[in-house]
Structure 1
Amino acid sequence: MNAPIFMTDQTTSDSGPHGSRVMGPSELLRILRRRRLIIFLTIGLIVGLTALVLQTVTPLYRSEAIVIVESPEAPGDDPAATVAKARENEIRVITFLQLLQSRAMAGRVVHDLALVDDREFNPGADPDKPAMVEPSFWERLKSVFTGSDPAPATTAEPPQPIASTPETLREAVIDRLIDNVSVDQINKSNMIKVTAYSVSAEKAQRIANKLASVAMLHQIEKRENASEETVASLTKRVAELREQVLEADERVATYRKRHGITQGMSDLTQMDRLASELAGARATRADAEARSSTIGAASSAGAAASPLLADLQTQEITLQRRIAELSAMYGQGHPDMQNAKAQLSQVQTRISEELSRASIGLQAEAAARRSREAQLAGEMGSLKARALQQGVENVALMDLERDAETNRTLYVSLLSRLKELERQDDVGQSDANFISRAAVPLSPSYPATKRILAVALVASLVLAAILAFIAESMDGRIRTSEQMESLTGFPALAMVPEKPENWGDLPPYVAIIERPCSAFSEALRSVQQELAARARDNAAQTVVITSPLPGEGKTTLSMSLAAAAAATGIESVIVDLDLRRPGLQNMSEQIAAGPDLLDFVDGDCAINEILRWDPRVPKLAMIGVKRAAKDPGATLSSPRLRTLLEELRQRYKFIVLNTAPILPVRDAKLLAAQADEVLMIAHWAKTPPDAVRSATRILGRTLTGAILNRVDYKKHAGLVYGDAIQHYAKYSQYYGETAPEDAETTSEPAAPAWRQLLSGLIRKAA
């Protein structure tokens, strides 16, 4: 018959060398689940303590303002200009960064926000009033239940002022403000982040914005003051230069007047002009003379000198050509010929007169040219003499003019600069502007409650897991059949549950009959079936039951095991051989009546006189002991006891011998030689593993099996050891507490159905 879920799985493929499971992921999860109480307590303790500590910490709020330092105008393609602009931009950022970090700006913030009178920066600002502090955790907790606002607590005595003098007090407040402010450049860019910390969210915002604002205002004021000073200085200097220019011009004019030096064309220029005119006059005079000398000899020269002469010469040629034609045609005596000759003579006379007149004109022109040439030569000589004289006088004049020109140039330059400054409209601007002003923070930045609690949670999880594994490794209690098998080296036949509390005074061995569907009954029946499967040829079977220590429940289990066999129709007998602390009499009232086992060993009665029966379990005989034996060893070695056991083997098919614990005494080992099976009982989660090991060594090869007794199925299932009982909650409905006679009155035959379902579950588990 297949073993039910109470039987131990004989497969050991997942077991280590000592019977413990291989530490895989599933086993790790089971360990964590088994030790969930330690885990929850550790997590709750650490997270709770962290939360309590966080409640005692004064929160700090952080507010950030971001400003940008404007870059100079974009450079052109010139690399040198690009480098210069980049350097200028870097200097601007560093300058404004240092300005924000200066004590001067912190001092202005202290003044503008009146931080000297603020209790955060000067706890002794108002010595006449007690210092107000944050409400305690218990006050806040009380307010949650009462619904009222927590009243802030007050100190018994006001704190002492920071300093005794206004100067040192102000410096101390500035130091505290600097400690509560940080200024950082954002990733080497033109942007600067101003961060302020305070116990008040609004105050943190005001400080961050105020610090950036006063730095910008400081730049504006400095530039305006510098511009005003520059304009005033330039105005004064321009006035002074104007006076100097006027004085220099006056000195030049006086010198010119004294020495008769005009400001017109210079002598050298005039000499150059006269030389040019003189050369022209000479050339004109030479030409006139040349034409005058050749005018009588060459008519062409005269024609060139007079247009009328040229016209007359043309008429002369025309008349000569006509006379030649007329002479050829008519001869010398023709009237036309005579008329033409008369006209020719007349024209020639006029030509002679015109030549004479042109010659006289050319001679007069030549005389005039010579006169002009002489005049120009005279003026040229006069200018040369004058130039030589003024060359000496101009040395001092040029010095005066250079001085005047220098003053004039400087005056014009400064005047242009002054006009430029007066036209500038960006003098009152700062290098920096706000990108984003500081906002009122909605939650404190310190302590970072969520982050700290998250870290505390993670740390507590790690610590809880470590503690869980430590507790698991240090747990010396036997909880699984696998552990029992590892300790004994023999199969664990079952894990027998604790007797149900709702049974009341009903003896367990009777409950085997009256509560056959209970987990307790099913477990004992599975043990009996396993032992029956081991029996040889349906022969009588003697089973010795012992335990390492007292209190393991072996007497109850022995009696119930015999009753389980009797419930299946097997004639069974239970013999109480715990002669030092007999317990069978406490379980059955029938034991107390008549002689007992010791009387039989002493020869005072027969076997039939010591046999007892409970009418509720008719096939179960009981042999008990009403008192402790004087010499248990002698009793167990008595021939009459061996005779009794031989007789019982003749009468009964299943014999259970309840013996004393093996560690205190060796009675079980003495009886093991006369038994077919020797079973050792261990109390679930109570019997020490060392006791089981010692008991196993004592029994040696005579031990044939082990049983974990008094198992809390619900608790064991909650510990998730991975065995069949882990699923107890899913199949617990298969166990009923209904008596057989009650089951018969139901509309459905429950017992056969339960048996069929249980048989299927047994086969699956096997």
Structure 2
Amino acid sequence: MLQKITSREIETTAPETPSLQQTISSALALVSRQYPVMIFTLLLCIGLAGIYVFTAPKRYTGTAILMIDSRKMQGLQTQAPPSGGDNPIDSAMVDSQVELLKSEAIASKVIKDLKLVGSADFMSDGGGLLSSISGAITGIFSESTPPTEEQILRAALARFASGLSIKRVGVTYVIEISFQALSQELAARIANAVADGYILDSLESKYQASRRAAVWLQDRLKELRSQASSAERTVADFKAKNNIIDAGGRLLTEQQLAEINTSLTTARSQRAEAQAKLERITAILNADSDDSKVILNDLATVSETMANPVITKLRQTYLEYAAKQADWSNRYGPTHLAVVNLRNQMRELRRSIIDELRRTAEVYKSDLEIAKAREESSQKSLNDTIAISNNTGQAQIVLRDLESNAQSARALSDNFLQLYMVSVQQQSFPITEARVISQAASTLPNKTSPRTTLILLAAIVGGSILAALVAVLLDMMDRVFRTVSQVEQLVDTRCLASIPVIERSAVKTNSAQSGKAAWRFGKRDKSKPQQAPTSYGRSGTTLALHGSAPGFSHQQSHRDRLLSTEESVGRHVIDAPFSRFAEGFRSIKLASDFANFGAGSSKVLGITSALPNEGKSTISEALAQTLAQSGCRTLLMDGDIRNPSLTARLTPAAQGGLIHVVLGQADWRDVVWIDPQTNLQFLPCAITSRFSNSSDLLGSKQMEDLFQELRQHFDRIVLDLSPLAPVVDVRATRGLADSYILVIEWAKSKVDIVERVLSETPVVRERMLGAVLNKVNVSVMSRYDTYGAAYYRNRYYKRYGYVD
């Protein structure tokens, strides 16, 4: 068995993932096993929730709804809003206002305005059960000194914060302000006061901001005005220093330069005109004086050019005479006196014209000199003005910088002046974006705490989860044997039978005096030893006695050695043959019969257990009774030398037994007891003191010889052995028992202990016929074995006449 356990422990094969059906089955099995604890846990949670609901003080909630309006009021603002509509308020700004509503500043203002520190409804915690317990615990550890005003205020702020709830409604600009209080009216008042306090705080903050801005703007405006004035004075001083004078938006030098340039152009045109006239007249005067046609043509050009009235009149007269001279010449002849006179007059007129032209030429010559002088004067003025303008241009570069600085300073001063006027207007009438769209009402039913339905639902859900966790925890900690499958899986052997627990009323008795007595199997005699212990030792292959052996009397007759089993639980297999108890032992007998068939290897059955008080002695007795009742020659032997409880229960008056037979002080036929009803023979183990070297006795040559002899006389020998854990006696029975049956107490035997003792006692593991699950509570076991629950139901047994 040690090798098998080791192989299982070192197995590295990955476990298969359980299927859905297996998971559901495991969950149902867990519920079936732990449902009493789960129901108790659930009922406990529901009960605690009910106690809280009935003892918790009623609280009411007042709710006011505030809206952050993104539309700006333009009534007193001088600047128009930008195109495209209102400026939207971002989400972070709304969240900031929510935190502002939770601030201590608004809380302190509301507490002060409503005088909540002196309000009993506000400062009281309601007197609930939890509050009373918390107050009592706090009172134990807190000091008895009266609180200061600061502590009272801090307590009020803490209570205010615990009752206040601020939340944003979705992604809108709407903020919901809720407050819980013991009074419906107080809750509504505080909720409305928080909204009003927030609006007033917003107005006050804007007023203070506008005021601070106005003061700063005023100081800054004075500074900017001073800077603008200084810059303008610098410009004026620079102009005066550099003789820069403006005239109609232009510099004086620029205006003079333009005027001189115009005058120079006019003088040049006048000079050219005068020179042209002089040259023309000079050309006429230098022409042939006899050429009258040329003179007349030139005179026509000069007259048209100069528009001289004298020359024009003389020319007209000359033309008239020339016409007459031509006419008279044709009429009277060229020599006619009248014609000659006209010719002379024409000559005089031409001489007069030439003289007038000479005089006009002199005038033109004078005009030309004047035009030249004027041109030279304008040119000189132009040159001088250009020189002055060049010097002024260099100064204008600096002047432009000074003027730009002065203009910037003046514009900045004007802008700040405008901002200052707006700030003064806003200071006189501050605005806020927040407004209350719904006030808390003190007449509507608004009880919010305790929420009975929600609390009970949470208790049911939480209790169910807690019950499941407790069930899982208990199931993980439940390292005991409760089902047949657990025995077969963990012990790695067959479970021969599940022996149910026998109630007192089920124990049959044959006498009226013992009819009221009720025994549970596994009960032992707790009589104290009367003598000092006797020591035995092992020497070679024989057992040597050191000291004196227990006393033995051969005077008991065969008639006196009858078993008294009326009050024994093991007798129940005979008294109630149709009980489930008896059926279990028949199952064990059948298993031993199959193991013994044709081989003779299970004639001696050793009955043992891991720990004391698991019912192995009762199992041994009941199995022996079952075997004897079937007709087998059966011997029941008490091999628990350290604590012969079977002897104390069946043959309390026995004076001799197994030890005396092994030591050769008695024959086994003289010390056996017989059950007259089943013919069961019982070899007791009579001792009068504690026996120390019992393992040596069990492993002695005399014990092996005794068992060889007993095998010849009996078909079956049932050997009641000591437990495996406390003593090592079972290890010494290798040469005595053919097979072993391990008794496991239901719901008591620890899995770890059983595995440990089996690993330390390989002889039991090697020759184990099977295990017996003893003291089974059938009704409870059905909860742990989901698949075999129907197997434990009484109605299937009753069909065949079985009763418990």
Task: Flag the structure with more relative contact order, 1 or 2, with Cα contacts below 8 A and sequence separation at least 6.
Answer: 1
Q: TM-score, normalised by structure 2?
A: 0.48
